[in-house]
Amino acid sequence: MILRLFDVVFVCTALYIIGSISSMDYFTVFTTHFYSMVVLALYINLFGTIFEMYNLQVASNQLQVLKSAIVTASVTVLVYLLTPFFSPELPSNRLQILLFYLIVFAALFCWRMLYVQFLASNRFVQNAVLICDKEQVEELILGLENIDPHYKIIAFVHSDAVEDDGVEYHYVRNIKREALHSFVKENGISEIVIASQKTEGITAELYQQLLRLLESGLIIREYTQVYESKTHRIPVHYIARDFYRFFPFSRSNHNKLYLLFVRIIEIIISVVGLLAGLLLLPFIIVGNALANNGTLFYTQQRIGKDGVVFDILKLRTMITNAETDGAVFTTTNDSRVTVFGKFLRKTRIDEFPQFVNILKGDMAVIGPRPERPVFVKKIAEIMPFYETRHIIKPGLTGWAQVNYSYGETISDSLIKLQYDLYYIKHRSIFLDLNIAFKTITTVLFYRGQ
């Protein structure tokens, strides 16, 4: 929210100052017509989202900030100039257009450099204390430390019935229960994270200390809440089979108005997508004939909503007879994928035929990617949560697809499952829009797999 607000504040302030001190007609409009500023602010936020200006990892890297600022400023200014009903009349002096672009870019870039230097620095580190079972310490800390570099577990209290002396795990200090309150006060602790699954370890004395800390304003959270908020994934590796305690399903999954609205949008998107696919079809046919040496379209069985098997329609991207030795995961730089097939995958053009599946109702635009029955059976034997993703329709794109690379192993499938369950839990119009914008970014930056 800070990034979005100050992007607008810096750009609009710069334009207002130029309009106030100069006589250039294109800039004086920004001092008198408020709606011109509003339209520009909307464009900055829209295209900034598409070009990852609000991705916090991008926003904390100077080189990536420069890249995203150039692209966002360029597209924002171009679209703004080409929408005359909402923007000022084009100036007769074309130099003003160049100056307009330079001001928008300079304002964005200068503010983002201030953000990188002062707001995205280590002075905003959060220190936390973990309360957990002794054997879980290293696993739980490792699960958090690589997610947010500013979030540090600096000590733990183990909740076993009997405390050991001098126990240390992964360079994290072990503190006594009776010393918790004083340690928190002396070390500027931001919050306490409770991951204990043994109630006998939460003694009356420890409980009283936690209560005193809570009353003093300290934040106390359960581990799954912290993990979920930091990673935007569900920690299925931690919550075991009693996931229903931590995993309330989103009401949107049964909200008829939401589902009707989504279905109407899906039909519109599918029709537009198929029309765009028809325009590209002659080029795809030529590319397939030259590089793929096989039929253009083919079908493959996938698991859909409620575990129902359906035939997904795909464009060929691999050599013929690619699975003579049985079904295997596609890997990075897979030798079975042709040169033209790599292009289709990178640009996501290979997924255009799946709009037919969406119109038929087998799939949605947004949801967990549908998996093949043979892989579902294999993965479900290892991960009891896996088939939970089948409570909603599979999607053309999804939360896992825009946040994680292509799944090549069972371990990758676990991480993607965590993202899929997060989507099912938090499903909403806002999350759908987030996925839609990130999908556009994936296509524009040629990141398909």
Together in a domain, 99 and 131: no
Domain boundary pick from 79, 101, 119: 119
Confidence of residue 354 (pLDDT cuts 50, 70, 90): very high
Together in a domain, 112 and 144: no
Tallying the residues shown for the chain, one arrives at: 449
Q: Say which range, 127-141, 192-206, 416-430, has the weakest mean pLDDT.
A: 192-206
Together in a domain, 207 and 63: no
Arithmetic mean of pLDDT, 192-215: 81
- Residue 241 domain-assigned? no
- Residue 12 domain-assigned? yes
pLDDT digits (tens, 9 = 90+) for 11-30: 999 999 998 998 888 888 88
Domain residue limits at 269 = 251-444
Measuring CA to CA, which residue among 421, 425, 426 is closest to residue 368?
Answer: 421
Q: Whole-model pTM?
A: 0.75
Arithmetic mean of pLDDT, 397-418: 82
Together in a domain, 130 and 64: no
Q: Say which range, 235-249, 292-306, 410-424, has the weakest mean pLDDT.
A: 235-249
Together in a domain, 257 and 337: yes
- Residue 236 domain-assigned? no
Confidence of residue 370 (pLDDT cuts 50, 70, 90): very high
- Residue 243 domain-assigned? no
Arithmetic mean of pLDDT, 368-396: 88
Residue 243: pLDDT over 80: no
Arithmetic mean of pLDDT, 352-363: 94
Domain boundary pick from 97, 119, 141: 119
Residue 302: pLDDT over 90: yes
Together in a domain, 262 and 368: yes
pLDDT digits (tens, 9 = 90+) for 305-334: 999 999 999 888 877 766 666 666 666 667
Residue 95: pLDDT over 60: yes
Confidence of residue 347 (pLDDT cuts 50, 70, 90): confident
Q: Which segment, 1-10, 210-219, 253-262, 342-351, is predicted with the most confidence on average? A: 1-10
Measuring CA to CA, which residue among 333, 348, 350, 353 is closest to residue 292?
Answer: 350
- Collect contacts of 389-392 with beta carbons under 8 A, ≥24 apart: 389/417, 389/420, 389/421, 389/424, 390/303, 390/304, 390/305, 390/306, 390/307, 391/249, 391/253, 391/305, 391/306, 391/424, 392/253, 392/305, 392/364, 392/367, 392/368, 392/424, 392/427
Percent of the residues in the chain that have a pLDDT greater than 70, as a whole number: 87
pLDDT digits (tens, 9 = 90+) for 252-298: 888 889 999 999 999 999 999 999 999 999 998 998 888 777 788 88
Residue 448 is predicted with a pLDDT of 57
Together in a domain, 78 and 169: no
Domain boundary pick from 231, 259, 292: 231
Confidence of residue 247 (pLDDT cuts 50, 70, 90): low
Residue 163: pLDDT over 70: no
Confidence of residue 240 (pLDDT cuts 50, 70, 90): low
Measuring CA to CA, which residue among 110, 81, 86 is closest to residue 9?
Answer: 110
Percent of the residues in the chain that have a pLDDT greater than 90, as a whole number: 30
Together in a domain, 414 and 273: yes
- Residue 105 domain-assigned? yes
Q: Whole-angstrom Cα distance, residue 32 to residue 15?
A: 12
Together in a domain, 299 and 440: yes
Residue 167: pLDDT over 60: no
Together in a domain, 304 and 361: yes
Q: Which residue has the higher pLDDT, 142 or 407?
A: 142
- Residue 363 domain-assigned? yes
- Residue 223 domain-assigned? yes
User: Cα 85 to chain center, whole Å?
Assistant: 34
Residue 161: pLDDT over 80: no
Report residue 246: phi and psi, to 5°. -115, -5
Here the tokens at position 31 are 């001092």
Residue 41 is predicted with a pLDDT of 94
Residue 393: pLDDT over 90: yes
- Residue 246 domain-assigned? no
Residue 346 is predicted with a pLDDT of 82
Per-chain mean pLDDT for the chain: 84
Here the tokens at position 115 are 């953000």
Count of domains forming the chain: 3
Together in a domain, 71 and 191: no
Together in a domain, 258 and 378: yes
Arithmetic mean of pLDDT, 58-65: 81
CATH at residue 169: 3.40.50.720
Measuring CA to CA, which residue among 174, 161, 176 is closest to residue 209?
Answer: 176
Residue 449 is predicted with a pLDDT of 58
Q: Which segment, 127-131, 289-293, 408-412, is predicted with the most confidence on average? A: 127-131
Residue 380 is predicted with a pLDDT of 86
Confidence of residue 183 (pLDDT cuts 50, 70, 90): very high
